[in-house]
Structure 1
Amino acid sequence: MQSSSMTGNKPSASTQAYLDIKEIKEGVVVLKDGSLRAVLVVSSVNFSLKSGEEQNALIATYQNFLNSLEFPIQILMQSRKLDIHSYLDKLRSVMQQQTNELLRLQTQEYIEYVGKLIEFASIMNKTFYVIIPLIAGGGKTGFMSKIMNLLSPAREISVKQTDFDKSREELMKRVSQVAGAMGGMSLKSLVLSTEELVELMYNSYNLNTASPIKIKSIGDLDLSPGE
């Protein structure tokens, strides 16, 4: 067999080389240009069940929120398949322990109904995210600073960490502003942690291999978008 050096073949580049993401740390996505991103997961609201007055109030609040922003945001909706087999197994266990014959039959019928339902259609869960950016500053490092960084690499690392801390603090102020606005629309929001960000990125770039969301109890299976 010919070696790669003789055939002129070059090793394929890692997928990460084609992504804009440099690293994920402290609940923040760091891009290769130095920009930062924070991600809020936001609950939903059943708009159609609101009265006309409530709908108008929501629209006005959302409009005021958008007009108050001094920075761009992205809204992402991600759909993932729900795996409710564990939930059905738990129901079967409850059914076997049920002493009331009527309740046992009703539970069995419900299990059969849901089982047939998932044979013909996938039950999907929609999750909503708000992505909040902080664009990297355009300042350039001076000549003397470059010399000092070459002489003391530890100093450069310290400066970079200090810059990150300042940028992250500014980003979190934006996150608080957006989260407060979400609360004004009766929407709950949470900032994704580092681990949750890694999972979100993996699932976003690996749609075919992403694991379905496993549901073990009816409390986890919230089919209504909200009140």
Structure 2
Amino acid sequence: MTEPSGLRHGPVVPQLESLLRELLREKRWKAGERLPSEVRLAEELGVGRSSVREAIRLLARDGLVDVRHGSGTFVTDLSPVTEEEPDVRRLLRRARLLEAYEVRRALEVEAARLAAQRIRPEDVERLRARLRDRQERSCGEPSAFVDADLEFHRAIVELSGNDVLVGLFTLVRPVLREALIEMVAHETALPDVSCAHADVLEALARGDAEAAIAATVDNLESTMAFIRAEAADR
């Protein structure tokens, strides 16, 4: 096993994913061979097991390994391990993420309008707790941060009192989660939308539907503009 000397201070998962990709390029494990267990990889690389699991998930998403529950993780055909093909897949994922955001914008704007009309004082306190959780996780593991972020937004959609909107958010959430985790883990220039989240909460607390809509649009459009710009640069 290659020594983990290449791991530097900073987000662990992206570095760990890159290291494992490099080991696959070097044919450290052959096609069809089982990788060491998460526990063993974590011990040998000096990282947490959850970081190993997240890096493996990213490799599995790109078809480089096959995670067989109860059996282990196996190397698939190594031919996809090139510099070009992951870029193509990344572009496709960005296109899918942008489409998901377009749907998300439509439903969350209406959810914010309805939630502002129906929110109660006890709902505001629950939202504040979810927003604090999101902020506290902003510098932690990408998956934990994304989950906290989506929980905040789901709570607002639920406050709309519209089961159809809740159902739509539930459908689009898995697509958003996967793509957002990758984006948070790898992008260094993501827009900071913390203020927009706080603005949404304060508008809802005041029962100001127009302000809640404006803050929701500001939050989502900032990220959508980033996704569009990144796609245009490639």
Higher helix share: 2
Larger radius of gyration: 1
TM-score between the two structures when normalised by the length of structure 1: 0.22
Higher strand share: 1
TM-score between the two structures when normalised by the length of structure 2: 0.21
